[in-house]
Amino acid sequence: MFSDLSRVIIPAAASFWIGIALTPIVTHYLFIHKAWKKRPGKTALDGTAAQEFNRLHQVQEVRAPRMGGIVIWASTLLTIVGIALIAALVPSTGFSRLNFLSRGQTWLPLAALLVGAFIGLVDDLLMIRPNAEGLPLRLRLVFVVIVSSLIGWWFWDKLGVHLINIPFGNPFDVGVYIIPFFVFVSLCLYASGVIDGIDGLSGGVFASIFGAYAVIAFALQEFDLAAFCTALVGGLLAFLWFNVPPARFYMSDTGTMGLTLTLAVVAFMTDNLGGGVGVFVLPIIGILLVITVLSNVGQMFWKRVLGRKLLRIAPLHHHFEAIGWPGSKVVMRYWILSVVFAFAGVLLALSAIYTI
């Protein structure tokens, strides 16, 4: 009744419309409870006031609520559970073919999404209290390390993953070091979550990334994983519908932590486990996330070692704002680049798949 292509398109459409319907309810309660930072402004990593950021954004920080990421993971979760329930209740209609809740392909990324979203939600709830700062960065990093260590162990011990595929070459055997390697990738991706800094920026970038991995998973015939990725894209697009300037809400940690942990899982599941090169192409597909992290690292290095700033403000997208680019110009150009590099990463991944 349903083709393989329908199996990945229908979850995307369902998640999008669920997200569109869910957003007015979510934002109603967010505004009622004044779920925004009560004290504007940020502190730089060296403990000083982030003067350039505060000049650009401290007013916006208290005009819109946080926790918009709820729309993304809730619409994805409702899509997964809803289709699974329909398939269970009316199996004779062919809906069982649409059910993409499977132990082999979606349990692990779904668990990463929900656990990361929950930790981020706790941070957001603490952040909106009067004079509160949320969970300390060190504690959030500890949570990421713990969760990603467990997932990395699952890949190694339960799924037997110890190889990283290289395009057009032999796989690289990392053995048990797949666990710390997964932790490292997860930490880097979580650090890139600061790309959620301008209205519409993070939603468009993450949608391109997960869209690319949906294509790769589909090519690997990991149809349940592909459907999971497209459901996330649908939720991201629903979020983005309300996050374009002026944003109705911000994604914040409940979105970025869940998405970045999930992205790490999806990349590894489309690598040696599925017969692809998902890890190798991650820096290409997610090039803007890489640049975001490197710009922060470069800024800290320049300030501590050379005693001056590399950029007017880090990460890079805020530097462009500081030199006079309107936020909308930064966002649109990041969207364009994210699509271009997602396409390049997919081409490389597909070439490697069909060569293998």
How much is the pLDDT for 45?
Answer: 53
CB atoms closer than 10 angstroms to residue 91: 12
Task: Render pLDDT for 176-232 as a digit per residue (tens, 0 to 9).
Answer: 999 999 999 999 999 999 998 899 999 999 999 999 999 999 999 999 999 999 999
**Tokens encoding 245:** 């300037």
Give the contacts of 354 (CB within 8 A, at least 6 positions apart).
none
Q: Give the torsion sign (CA, 319, 323, 324, 329).
A: negative
Q: 43 pairs with which residues across the strands?
A: 49
Q: What pLDDT was estimated at residue 96?
A: 81
Q: How crowded is the C-beta side of 171, counted as CA atoms within 13 Å?
A: 20
Q: Give the pLDDT confidence score for residue 349 in this predicted structure.
A: 96
Write the DSSP string, 5-40. HHHHHHHHHHHHHHHHHHHHHHHHHHHHTT-S-SS-
Work out the burial of residue 1: count CB atoms within 10 Å of its CB; fewer than 13 is exposed, 13-18 middle, 19 or more buried: exposed
Dist. CA 281–CA 8, nearest whole Å? 22
Q: Which residues contact 191 (CB under 8 A, 6 or more apart)?
A: 292, 293, 296
In this prediction, residue 261 carries a pLDDT of: 98
Q: Do residues 104 and 217 make contact, with C-beta atoms less than 8 angstroms apart?
A: no
Residue that the structure tokens 């504690």 belong to: 139
Give the position of tokens 């017969």: 275
pLDDT (0 to 100) of residue 133: 77
| Residues with pLDDT less than 70, the chain | 1, 39-62, 92-93, 356
Nearest of 281, 249, 248, 245 to residue 263 by alpha carbon: 281
Q: How far apart are CA 63 and CA 35, in angstroms?
A: 10
Confidence (pLDDT) at 46: 55
- Can you tell me the distance from the alpha carbon of 55 to that of 217, in angstroms, rounded to the nearest whole number? 43
d(CA 108, CA 144): 15
d(CA 311, CA 294) in angstroms, rounded, equals: 12
* Continuous segment of H or E residues that includes residue 172: strand 172-173
Alpha carbon separation from 171 to 58, 271, 277 (Å, rounded): 48, 10, 10
- For residue 141, give its domain range: 4-355
Predicted local confidence at residue 354, as pLDDT: 83
The total number of structural domains that make up the chain: 1
pTM, two decimal places: 0.94
Sign of torsion over alpha carbons 219, 225, 231, 236: negative
**Cα–Cα distance between 9 and 107 in angstroms, integer?**
20
- Cα dihedral angle (118, 121, 126, 128), rounded to 10 degrees? -170
306 DSSP assignment: I
